[in-house]
Amino acid sequence: MRSLDDLLAEGVSGRRVLVRADLNVPLDKTTRAITDDGRIRASLPTLQALREAGARVVVAAHLGRPKGAPDPQYSLAPVAARLGELLGTEVPLAADVAGEDAQAKAGQLGDGDVVLLENVRFEAAETSKDDAERGGLADRFAALADTFVDDAFGAVHRKHASVYDVALRLPHVAGRLVATELDVLTRLTRDPERPYVVVLGGSKVSDKLAVIEALLPKVDRLLVGGGMCFTFLAAQGHGVGKSLLEADQVETCRRLLAEAGDRIVLPLDVVCAPEFSADVETTTVPVESIPDDQMGLDVGPRTVEAFGRELGGARTVFWNGPMGVFELAPFQAGTRGVAGAVAAVDGLSVVGGGDSAAAVRQLGLDEAAYGHISTGGGASLEYLEGRELPGLAVLAD
């Protein structure tokens, strides 16, 4: 796989370079203000290097899940404004994805200039299952530039026109963010320093089953929190009240517990409430005593302490998924406590993107305390599962 440094060594001054970036940031639903610009900041090293080398940079990205047609609420306009602030230069937004305005603005670029294309998912062909449809859009992307740089690690598990098909049409390299992500994830899979502890949270066992199966033979401990823990607790014979439960996964969890022995560590206590609410009255109970009319919405203090002990001696840690409904104040303590223990690890600590990265920022934790915060939750999990990721496979050609 060729790198950005390989491309820069060849010289890019005066050349148009198409960069697929991951700028899929959360927006306030009312004001459309960006609430977390972490992914934009993660794209800067590649973009700045290209600008300094005199490239004419065309950036492609997506935002949210529009239904294959222009939708103002998913416009990249706020992203263009923030990207310009961070780069210290104006970043105009094309009025279309790869149409007449995109062509005109790309053609007007000077050395070191940047233009952002409108949300690539405004084109139904971007995510089409039909190779020919995606290919037609990829042809239009390819007409905008001489070279392709994929720096959107959060999208490399997608066989999309702006990720996969355009790389078949242009000389291509991996951007600096993709290279960094791969370096870190390779360290997790090939020869991690031990003890190696994985912390998994989130809502559903079914979403994480493949990564659990892949990681169990490799880890020293697998700590399970979040909504998914209740299916494991049910597999141990505990009642879980109104907590999230995937009844069809109970037998699978029972098998995993039997195979893993003491390597799977489950919560000891949970914070319960009768409903999701920011001002609801909560009760902390042992996992053996969850009331029938309540739901577990966070792990409790004894669990945080126990998970902290397991993490205290670790040399390698991968964390993906919050311990509870951290968006609501009464259910933040579990995620905050475990996140703090991950940050304190004397070794490599990796936050696996998605809600985990969002929790670090929303809870005001020090991002610099972690070895690496991934920009791709789904991509990082699929890489750890051992799946072939289309956006990486095509770069290796």
Binding-site residues for ATP, in ranges, read 208, 296, 327, 353-356
**CB neighbour class for 129 (10 Å; exposed up to 12, middle 13-18, buried from 19):** exposed
User: Are the CB atoms for 23 and 83 separated by under 8 Å?
Assistant: yes
Q: Is 237 a catalytic site residue?
A: no
Q: Is 378 a catalytic site residue?
A: yes
CA distance 124 to 121: 6
Report CA Rg, the chain: 22
CA distance 359 to 199: 14
Binding-site residues for (2R)-3-phosphoglycerate, in ranges, read 39, 121, 158
User: Are the CB atoms for 142 and 117 separated by under 8 Å?
Assistant: no
90: left (phi over 0), alpha (psi -120 to 50) or beta: beta
For residue 34, give the 3-state DSSP assignment: strand
Order across the sheet with 264-265: list the strands.
Answer: 264-265, 221-224, 196-200, 316-320, 348-351, 372-373
CA distance 18 to 219: 39
Residue listed under structure tokens 């360290």: 187
| List 20, 39, 221, 336, catalytic entry | 39
| List 354, 376, 377, 391, catalytic entry | 354
Q: Is 204 a catalytic site residue?
A: yes
The amino acid that residue 202 corresponds to is G
Binding-site residues, in ranges, read 22-24, 39, 62-65, 121, 158, 208, 296, 327, 353-356
Q: Is 302 a catalytic site residue?
A: no
| List 194, 204, 263, 315, catalytic entry | 204
The residue length of the chain stands at 397
Residue listed under structure tokens 């939708």: 71
**CB neighbour class for 176 (10 Å; exposed up to 12, middle 13-18, buried from 19):** buried
CA distance 320 to 333: 17
CA distance 313 to 193: 12
Q: Which residues are the active-site residues?
A: 39, 204, 354, 378
